Structure 1
Amino acid sequence: MPKSLYDILLDVSKSAMIDEGDLQTAGLLILTAAIHGLNINRAGIWLLTDDKTAIQGKMLIDGDDCTIDSDILLLRADYPIYFSSLDSERAVVANYAQTDVSTSELSASYLAPLGITAMLDAPIRHRGQMLGIICCEHQGSTREWDSQEIAFVSALADTYGRAISAAQRNDYERQLKEINEQLEHKINDRTNVLQDALRNLNHTQAKLIESEKLASLGRLVSGLAHEINTPLGVSVTSSSHCVSQLGLVKKRYKDGTLDEDEFAQFLNDLDDGLGLINNNLNRAATLVQNFKLSGAIHTANEEEQFELRACIELTLKSLQPLLKKSQIDCELEPGENITLNSYPGAIAQIITNLITNSIHHAFDHTTDKKIRLHLTQTPEKITIHYQDNGCGIAEDIRPKIFEPFFTTARRTGGSGLGLSIVYNLATQKLGGEILLDADQSKGAGFQINIPTS
């Protein structure tokens, strides 16, 4: 290749215009280089239609005139031999264009009227696929293209493929920015809704306290916490996943390793995640609004000194309508009073969740339904023994029962958060532990150990 062609190609390759993502600017630079390097007056960029049934002029320079998105359209049906040559994805070299087997079909309608005697088409490739060609057209006396000129035009075509990648990256960046903004707006909007609902909750709580309804307030907060933790837990998990995926896509974009399939999958995942967040935050807001019309809580959620047996009996009393409806005999076995300094609200919720779990899972094949609670005390800990006489917990799922969102009743509305909440309350709030009894043959049994100091 003559030095002048090398220099032209080097200048084009080093130009910042190629990687700025503006295809018109990059195309104009490349076609100008082709005209200057080959000493011709006419060159164009032609792109195949999506269905590859036609090829259309994207940019055409003819002397001093430059046309963007021209109306020239060549149909495969009209020029089958020429398109067959393009399908080979190799350069079309026609030294005698009007008689060459590859291009002679174009003679009457295109070549002869424009005085084109020789054509050199180099394929434009992007991500392994041919998208179109750079077409260099010689007018006037006969011209034979040499191998150096063919290599020169092919390199320019590859450079235009690089410009397409830059334009695509810019488009990805724009879409990522829009998605990020939409995500932030949706989260902010839903957060504002939830904050308004929580303000209403605080106002309702204050009114209940002023009306001396502390006994009923305990059960209401406990029930609300159980219900609202489900959609909020789903929302937090989905939001974290969206943020994680967004970070991964940003990293791959910066590294230049992001492809179309991965980006499309990311958009689908993000759409699903945002939908999940939206639905569950709406659900949480509705739950809080409905809180004003609900009953009362079990007891305060503050750390205080209280009598454990009285706390559990109060919780069971608040659950009597539900137990009666399910025809379950639930009792706390008699014993000595046990005073401790802890969180009565957490204990009430643990008991409520365990009983709710038994109602939903234990008694499908049990007629005489029973739940028994028993308290024991040592200098180091207080233990709440919980036992139902249902079907017990199958051995294969025992390691998973405290995992968030694990449930065997997904089809009937189970969220899989009930026992997970129990575990977190027992271990984190109370600073103790919850153990599953090894023998489940007589029903589900648990031990909740609460440290005395």
Structure 2
Amino acid sequence: MAEIQGNATALCNAEGEITGASESARDLTARQNDEKNLAERESFLSGILDSIQDEISVLDKELTIVRVNSALKRRFSGGGPLVGRKCVEVYHCGTEFCEDCPSRITLRSGKVSSKIFSETKNGAVIWLELVTFPIFDPKRTLVTGVIALARDITERKRAEEESLRRRAAVEKLNGSLVELARNEKIYGGDAGVAFRAITEASARAMAVGRVSIWFYTGGNSGIVCKDMYEARRGTHSEGMILYARDYPAYFSALEEEYCLCADDALGDPRTSEFSETYLRPLGITSMLDVPIIVADKTIGLVCHEHTGTPRKWTVEEQSYATAVAGFASMSLEILARKRAEEGVRKLNDELEQKVGERTRQLLSAQEELIRKEKLAILGQLSGSVGHELRNPLGVMNNAVFYLKMVLSDPPGNVREYLDIIKNEIDNSERIIADLLDFARTKKPQIRTMTVREIVEAGLDRCPIPENVAVEFAIPEDIPPLRADPLQMGQVFQNLFVNAVQAMPGGGSLRVGAKIKPGATGLEPDFIEISAADTGEGILEENLGKIFQPLFTTKAKGIGLGLVVCRNLTELNGGKIRVESRPGEGTVFTVSLPAAGTGMGESQ
């Protein structure tokens, strides 16, 4: 049925009198239908907006709020009407728009814009994501407004932050495992050092107050702590023992469960036994224990103890603790292997040492036997050989003397050859003298004499070349000594000859002396006389052989000179020693009893 609206209008003449009426009628059905449809669409749109849980507002081009949904009304329910107010006034309680305001950006660009920001609500921080969409005119040429959608993303933000935190924690745990894998202390074979490195690294990575390593006692009746690291103090300790009879639930859990994860150690029935004696006094609230397994047998455990607010152990932390226990197992296996290797090496060394020692003994015995045979033959021949050689040498020496006397001015090469003959005769005489002295040493004729007398006796028998400088360092007040002048003269003659021969290109021969007091009042004083050259030196491997009979490194000589020196020095109550560095020189030191000390007085 149609609805008609009628209107009547009076008609008047010039004098204002009503002369008639005009009537009109209009069908209102279409208008009412339009209004009804509009109301229905408005109700439908409001229903859609109100059903959306995100906060929605519609802004005009002046950024004035023209429409909001129920979610936005609820958020600002105590602040009065929202429509008709600037968005910055409602959202930020101000009048100045920020530069990165998404609504302004959308108005200028005609593009979707967004921003994430936080605000405090009832003392708690909430995170919102604001997305703005442009509203165009019918021709889509002008932006006439903005639809702003604000979504609470607090839970998502917390989840992201938790994910980042856990990722950082996992990276930290993995980094700690890499650090342990590269730590040489783990592989050094010292379990104590390895345990300290493991507990320190684990405490840092897990951010716990204490990390400890325990091992079962005999029969699994208890566990003993081998290392406990307290992060706050930075100290290590050991020796604590926990017995199964005192904590039956805990020990039962260790046997039945691979990983004992007690987030609330005080309330967990597996660990609450420790509450009064261990947990509360130390402030421990959470425990994470994993076994140490060697050769498929559980021999101990690694314990992580957290202080402060109870902590929920993550899967990653449990996996890390298991890996840490693996490093403890590895260090023990390495220790066992190194001990086995050390045992084998020690046995090999002992065997090699015994074989080497036995070989040296056999070689030494063989050398000694050969040397004794040679010396025996040498002793038998020395007397007759010395007599047979000295006579012709005497004739040759006299002939050289005669030729030098009758040839008052011989040619240069004749004088040179005569000198060579003389030197060779002297060398031969010295070898024969060494041979005879070695074969039958006479009893020394001891008397008191000065150091200079004994040194000069040796120098008189040894011609010093012009390219060798002799220096004396003999104190004037040094006491006299007691010795046989002939025998000790021969000793120093041999030493000086050796020194000169060691310096074919020239050098320095330094003769010194000093007194060496006895260690106690009952021991005699000694005079130490040294002869130091700057020659070629003696190789280290030859130092132990130079006083052995028949050992020589010279082209000429039979290796008896230093043997004679040692024998004669010892006969006179003294000792002889040598020090040498190849390329730097040699020092021979002869120690003889000082006069008045009692030694040699009765000889």
**TM-score surpassing 0.5?**
no
Please, what TM-score do these two structures have when normalized by structure 2? Answer: 0.31
Which structure ranks higher in relative contact order (CA pairs < 8 Å, sequence separation ≥ 6)? 1
Q: Which has the larger radius of gyration?
A: 2
Structure 1 length normalisation: TM-score?
Answer: 0.41
**Larger strand proportion of the pair:** 2
